Structure 1
Amino acid sequence: MEYLEFELPIKELEEQLTKCQIIGKESEVDVTETCSKIEKKLVETQKEIYKNLTPWQRVQLSRHPNRPYTLDHINAICGESFLELHGDRGFKDDKAMIGGLGKIGDQSFMFIGQQKGYNTKTRQYRNFGMANPEGYRKALRLMKSAEKFGIPVVTLIDTPGAFPGLEAEERGQGEAIARNLFEMTRLKVPIITVIVGEGASGGALGIGVGDAVLMLENTWYSVISPESCSSILWRSWEYKEQAAEALKLTASDMKKLKLVDEIIKEPLGGAHRDREKTFSTVSNAIVKAYESLKNLSPKDLVSQRMEKYTEMGVYKD
């Protein structure tokens, strides 16, 4: 298990607990009471740390190397029923954007999301979760297929942004994202969006228009990353913590601004601390959201979605 800087007190207590348990096993000394005290102190420390997280600390948790990625969620939720589909039928198959058919119980869904890598080799293979235009065109192709067969769409967002390279711009990155925004507002099947990690810029929004937008507790959603914001405003990355605070990018901020519909509670310490519980919670949230949408007619679905997004950013004095 890897620990973030603010988690070091937890690391020290967990190491003490492990040593105490080893002493108990390897000797005849009764360490039950000592272990119990350390466990109690550990729980108290965890609660104290995680209930007072700053926006920047939540950004760090969303990037934790042990945090489950999109394919982890899909494979856990769907099991062997998931069938990955490839290609945009125009240029190539973007490995940073994955999608395919899967089932939760007896209900089929079209799952689409950004996928990051686990090590240097897979990160390069997945382009660090940053999709090219062909990735967004693949996503749109799959959404249109889902619409044709009346299958609801689930999008899982986890990206530091769309790929900003010259070749991506040459192939129409901006147009591909804009096209997705336009088409998703009119899609005649339910769209359920879940932010499972980072939700940065148009890269996230390109698959982020949903009837129900759900956000895991320790994730973020913003027009720009804290580091990039800091480098623009202060000409340095040193002010990323202040930028994270100012951007109002946490789940609670998004809910307060009515940009997301629901916050999905994570296990104490983050999604990576109890993956199975996280997968179960996300699965239940998707099913619950679908149940509230499945009886709406296509006309009502589109009308409700359009109304939801046109109301965003409107304020009265």
Structure 2
Amino acid sequence: MNTKAYGAHAGDKPLEPIDIQRRAPGPRDVQVEIKYCGICHSDLHTVRSEWPGTKYPCVPGHEIVGHVSAVGGEVKRFKVGDTVGVGCLVGSCQHCASCADGLEQYCENGFVGTYNGPTQDPPGYTFGGYSQRIVVDEKFVLKIRHPEEQLAAVAPLLCAGITTYSPLRHWKVGPGKKVGVVGIGGLGHMGIKLAHAMGAHVVAFTTSESKRKDAHDLGADEVVVSRDPAQMKPHGGSFHFILNTVAASHDLDAFTTLLKRDGTMCLVGAPEHPHPGPNVLVLIIGRKSIAGSFIGGLPETQEMLDFCAEHGIVSDIEMIRIQQIDEAYDRMLKSDVKYRFVIDSATLAQA
């Protein structure tokens, strides 16, 4: 099926209107008419070949919300008209230990990304959500229970939401836990909202005094300017868990020293250059851990969406027309967005 999309033909070219082909729904497929698509830093890195292996033309987008327009004959969980989401994954092997545990993001044979991932559909790799529609195996489609007026702000939950929810759940964040969130951006602002809703005492770390009020408004109980030793020192040895969302190389020791004995700092941002350190003695003396986490599997992503619907949680967004995509990328590089851009997919019809 011919589908209007926006994509790039090379890493140094702007995104532009292109026509792509979507397969007709197979027996277990769900066809989704895309209403909104969030913009992730991964989109920019892939389109501009800042990560290796980009195939062109590249159509990014893995924060997709829309409505079901067709289903295959064997589809049981969805019907035409349902409000659904598609996140970072559209396939995995389904037979390894990770897939069996509902952790498809750690598929031992390689998951299929929503864009730039291997597929039998022409041209041999996936096209993402900067498009009018997408066809996805039923298993990789998620139910959205938020009201219609919140759908645009739901879209970033499919990546930013699950990327922060998964480690918070894994390390059992909740009442009685003191939790730090480092960075107040697309990921960090979701981490603050989710940790607050889980009942933790939330401390937001920022390098900018100007973000203090914003962090409190998002749900932080305390805000610390991490460049100020006087503000950092009183928190030494007091955190059960720290979620570090910063994607730039920085001093990890400044935060591991804040962990309690047996505390963990989880990294979810991938820096362009390695972090300095860490000082192993800081970890040894206190049995502290530095860990990592990567998006989430299908069961946990559905759990996150249901949790957010129940607690009225959405992302803070700025809506754009698809024709503004390159401007949005440039602004993302300057951190000039609070806190996620979302594409109004209806504007593709004008492309």
Same fold (TM over 0.5): no
- Taking structure 1 as the reference length, the TM-score comes to 0.27
Structure with max Cα Rg: 1
User: Higher helix share goes to which structure?
Assistant: 1
Which one has more relative contact order, counting CA pairs under 8 Å at least 6 apart? 2
Q: Which has the higher strand share?
A: 2
State the TM-score, normalizing by the size of structure 2.
0.25
